[in-house]
């Protein structure tokens, strides 16, 4: 009877480990936010759950918060602003996509009343040399526009370098969050 009990426990543990490896390898990944570029949406040290499977079944959407491979050593977390074919411009601290003003309500509560814009004026062509976001590329910005290393500096992100969509901020528990949309 004891052998059966140990076998059942061992089998349960092995199945749990196999499922954890499967989820971690193919479906979800855990990431730690490093830096202030996504403040106030995400803070330095936040732990995130990234859905790696979602973009196999649906397209990357504007305003999704994504993790992508910036280099072989580093992954970045940013917000998608421009999709392929988009013309992007910032004028008077307002976002224009394809010549239409687009709201970013997630930024409103965090604008400082210091007389300085949250986002300096730019056109896509000024920062990338392109008039439109090329096919297979994304234009990304950090929510902390004043202190973000993003597409304004390193150019477009190749859609194939996207690891996944940030679905959950789970640490610290006091900042538990599930939605990071406009």
> What is the tens place of the pLDDT at every residue in 122-168?
999 999 989 999 999 999 999 888 888 899 999 999 999 998 888 87
Instruction: Determine the pLDDT at residue 10.
Output: 73
Contact, 140 vs 80, CB < 8 A? Answer: yes
Residue 5 CB neighbours (<10 A): 9
Greatest distance between any 2 Cα atoms in the chain = 76
CB burial string 142-180: b at 16+ within 10 A, e below: bbbbeebebbbeeebbebebbbbbbbbbebeeeeeeeeb
Distance of alpha carbon 108 from alpha carbon 105, whole angstroms: 5
Instruction: Determine the pLDDT at residue 12.
Output: 74
CA distances from 23 to 46, 52, 154 (A): 20, 10, 32
CA 79 distance to own-chain centroid: 5
CATH architecture of the domain covering 30-175: Ribbon (2.10)
Instruction: Determine the pLDDT at residue 182.
Output: 47
Contact, 140 vs 151, CB < 8 A? Answer: yes
Contact, 98 vs 133, CB < 8 A? Answer: no
Instruction: Determine the pLDDT at residue 78.
Output: 94
Instruction: Determine the pLDDT at residue 181.
Output: 55
Active-site residue list: 37, 78
pTM: 0.80
Instruction: Determine the pLDDT at residue 135.
Output: 96
Distance of alpha carbon 148 from alpha carbon 27, whole angstroms: 28
Instruction: Determine the pLDDT at residue 90.
Output: 94
Which tokens sit at 120? 């300096």
Instruction: Determine the pLDDT at residue 20.
Output: 63
User: Which segments of the chain have a pLDDT < 50?
Assistant: 182
Q: Rounded to 5 degrees, what are φ and ψ at 169?
A: -100, 115
């Amino acid at each position: 009877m004891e052998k059966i009990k140990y076998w059942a426990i061992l089998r349960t543990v092995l199945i749990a480990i196999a499922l954890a490896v499967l989820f971690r390898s193919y479906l979800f990944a855990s990431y730690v936010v490093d830096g202030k570029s996504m403040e106030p949406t995400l803070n330095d040290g936040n732990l995130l759950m990234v859905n790696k499977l979602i973009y196999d079944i649906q397209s990357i959407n504007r305003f999704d918060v994504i993790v992508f491979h910036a280099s072989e050593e580093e992954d970045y977390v940013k917000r998608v602003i421009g999709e392929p074919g988009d013309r992007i411009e910032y004028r008077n601290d307002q976002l224009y996509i394809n010549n239409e003003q687009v709201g970013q309500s997630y930024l409103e509560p965090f604008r400082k009343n210091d007389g300085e814009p949250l986002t300096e004026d730019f056109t896509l062509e000024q920062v990338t040399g392109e008039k439109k976001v090329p096919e297979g590329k994304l234009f990304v910005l950090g929510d902390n526009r004043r202190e973000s290393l993003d597409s304004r500096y390193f150019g477009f992100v190749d859609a194939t370098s996207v690891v996944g969509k940030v679905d959950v901020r789970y640490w610290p528990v006091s900042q538990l969050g599930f939605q990071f949309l406009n």
